[in-house]
A and B are shown apart, each in its own frame.
Chain A
């Protein structure tokens, strides 16, 4: 990697982290820093064009779009972090099992994984949410469960390379339990991969989450989630009213791009290679 490109990557990481920090702050502080209420309906000031008092304009119920974008960060941050954590943890367990025991267990887990992954992720999530409803856990499960199998595949491929290292044989000779070997010997050596997988899954979860919300099948109103705002307002694009839709859309874009800038930089550092 040439020096100039490396600097560029590092800059990418800093920019990504800064954007992510910004949205995390919005998620934590939310209503405290928003200039207006995100949910209060004000029919006197509906569909105002962006101006100094309302920098992003107002939507069809007179709610301030900027405030809704700030408060809406909470949904995407919490949901995508939880879905990614769920996917990574489940995938890690499955990957360790398949990689360490191999043979039948690996075969069975791999077939199940292939079957699940042959259904496109968003359509799988759509079906699960239709079945289980729109609760927090249902949505996290719908998004994370499909992803977990992809994580498992990556973890497995790493575990297989570590499986026959001397320290694993040593631990086996010492009579350590399989559980100990998986979590105390193998896991610490695969942490880099786990970190990259986790970060990648945040981005993918945010993608799926926003798409589900846009379809009206994810987070439910009156939550000011970004995808949901777009879903409620996008038909007005026909009449040229773009501001209640474009700003949440740009917020989603900035969030996922920030995640991938960080993933890119992590991979370049050789973390998880």
Chain B
């Protein structure tokens, strides 16, 4: 990541001073920023800073990167939490209900819908949502950011459209896995036993099928974190929401390397942590995987 940043043509000095700056001025600034030292020295320097929470200064904002990153990450986390809270129950319901009523019209409509939102770029979903629910039927505001002094509910209200657009892709994945899990659980021996015991269909579904369908569906979210980051860039740009995605976009557009490097580091770490959490969750919740790991 760091090295990719270094091979980018165009120097940061040029980016700050603009295209009309004299070569001497650019040179001086590059030197004062330490960009004339060898790549390896700069890398070690940067690594040392990063380990102490110091990512250097943003070239375009002139503020410490850690400060920018903190504020942006906080906004993005807010957006992601709203997205999960909105989309998770919906997609679980969609997946389980289509699994229970397999082959019905409902199943076909929801499966088709889930596939569509899964493959369509987030900003396209966002635009359709804006046109339908903000312009044609003015239920939600077009802007994602509420007034600074707005209360909790108003902030939440502004976040609903962008969060749905962001998580629509997840709806597809989660619903599909939940549907497959439901179907599998229906065909399992323990479900047959439950039916033979004389339990009603609804009790079998709630007691035996749902728990077995929910787990893999929740797991799939952890594996989709990477997509979520790509989505953040696009959605935050569409709704002009000051989060991590918009920060990365602006850093890339203006060749702001310190910011770009730090953001990529944050993304990489989050990705690794989420994958780890997913594995651990699976181990705790599924005895079969646990024994497999132990027996290795």
Contact = CB atoms under 8 A, between A and B. Distances in A.
Interface in A120-136: 120-123, 126-128, 130-131
Contact of B131 (A2, A119, A207, A242): A242
Nearest to A126: B252
- Max chain B Cβ within 10 angstroms of own Cβ: one of A207, A245, A246, A249: A249
Interface string B119-146: 1111110011011001110000011000
B120 A234 contact: no
Nearest to B253: A217
B7 interface: yes
Contact of A246 (B1, B128, B238): B128
B142 A238 contact: yes
A214 interface: yes
Nearest to B124: A249
A249 B123 CA distance: 8
A122 B230 contact: yes
Interface string A172-187: 0000000000000000
Q: Helix, strand, loop or mixed for chain B's interface?
A: helix
Interface in B201-219: none
Q: Helix, strand, loop or mixed for chain A's interface?
A: helix
Contact of A131 (B8, B103, B128, B233): B8
Interface residues of A, number: 40
A211 interface: yes
A131 B4 contact: yes
Contacts of B134: 237
B233 A122 contact: yes
Interface stretch (B26-34, B69-77, B188-196, B264-272): B264-272
Interface of A: 2, 4-5, 8, 118-123, 126-128, 130-131, 203, 207, 210-211, 214-217, 230, 234, 237-238, 240, 242, 245-246, 249-250, 252-253, 256-257, 259-260, 264
